Structure 1
Amino acid sequence: MALAEKNWRLLDTGHRPGPENMAIDEAIARAHARGEVPPTLRFYGWAPPAVSIGYFQSMLKEVDLDAVRASGYGYVRRPTGGRLIFHHMELTYSVVVREELLPGGVIETYREISRGLLAGLAELGVAAELSGGERDPRRADPGGFHTACFDTASAYELQVGGRKLAGSAQTRRDGVILQHGSILLDVDVPLLFRLMRLPEGAPAERLMARFRSKATTLREALGREVGYAEARDAFTAGFARALGLRLTSGSLTLAEEKEAETLVATKYGSDNWNIKK
Structure 2
Amino acid sequence: MHGEYKVPGGKLVVVDLDVVDGAIANFRLAGDFFLEPDSALDAIDGAVNGLPADADAQHIAASIRAALPVDAVLLGFTPEAVATAVRRSIGNATTWRDYEWEILHPGPLSPAMHLALDQVLTDEVGAGRRGPLLRFWEWDRSAIVIGSFQSLRNEVDLDNAAKYGVEVVRRISGGGAMFMEAGTAITYSLYAPGDLVRGMSFAESYAYLDEWAITALRSLGIDAFYQPLNDITSPKGKIGGAAQKRLGGGAVLHHVTMSYDMDGAKMVEVLRIGREKLSDKGTTSAAKRVDPLRSQTGLPRAEIIERMTSTFTSLYGATAGEITSAEYQAAEELVASKFSTEEWLTRVP
Q: Scaled by the length of structure 2, what TM-score is found?
A: 0.66
Q: Write the letter of the residue equivalent to 2:222.
A: V
Matches within 5 A, 1:103-142: 103=198, 104-131=200-227, 133=228, 137=229
Q: Write the letter of the residue equivalent to 1:217.
A: P
Moved more, 104-113 or 93-102: 104-113
Matches within 5 A, 1:1-277: 1=5, 2-3=95-96, 5-88=98-181, 89-103=184-198, 104-131=200-227, 133=228, 137=229, 154=230, 157-161=231-235, 163-174=237-248, 175-197=250-272, 209-222=284-297, 224=298, 226-241=299-314, 244-276=315-347, 277=349
CA RMSD, Structure 1 to Structure 2 (Å): 2.2
Deviation, structure 1 residue 122: 2.2
Deviations 1:191-232 (A, max 9, x none): 0011123669xx9xxx9853355431112222x2x3332121
Identity %: 28
Please give the alpha-carbon distance, in whole angstroms, between the structure 1 residues aligned to 2:165 and 2:175.
24
Moved more, 262-271 or 60-69: 60-69
Count of residue correspondences: 246
Please give the alpha-carbon distance, in whole angstroms, between the structure 1 residues aligned to 2:155 and 2:290.
19
Deviations 1:117-146 (A, max 9, x none): 111212322222222x4xxx4xxxxxxxxx
SS at match of 1:13: coil
Please give the alpha-carbon distance, in whole angstroms, between the structure 1 residues aligned to 2:96 and 2:317.
12
Deviations 1:80-137 (A, max 9, x none): 1111110221010000001013322322221211211111212322222222x4xxx4
If you compute each CA radius of gyration, which structure gives the higher value, 1 or 2? 2
SS at match of 1:233: helix
Deviation, structure 1 residue 4: 5.7
Please give the alpha-carbon distance, in whole angstroms, between the structure 2 residues aligned to 1:272 and 1:212.
31
Deviating 4+ runs (over 4 angstroms) = none
Please give the alpha-carbon distance, in whole angstroms, between the structure 1 residues aligned to 2:154 and 2:287.
23
Please give the alpha-carbon distance, in whole angstroms, between the structure 1 residues aligned to 2:283 and 2:294.
18
Please give the alpha-carbon distance, in whole angstroms, between the structure 2 residues aligned to 1:166 and 1:198.
16
Q: Which has the higher contact order (CA 8 A, sep 6+)?
A: 1
Moved more, 15-24 or 59-68: 59-68
Please give the alpha-carbon distance, in whole angstroms, between the structure 2 residues aligned to 1:199 and 1:215.
15
Please give the alpha-carbon distance, in whole angstroms, between the structure 2 residues aligned to 1:108 and 1:199.
28
Deviations 1:132-182 (A, max 9, x none): x4xxx4xxxxxxxxxxxxxxxx4xx32111621021101101211001111
- Contact 2:143–2:166 (CA<8 Å) still a contact in 1? yes
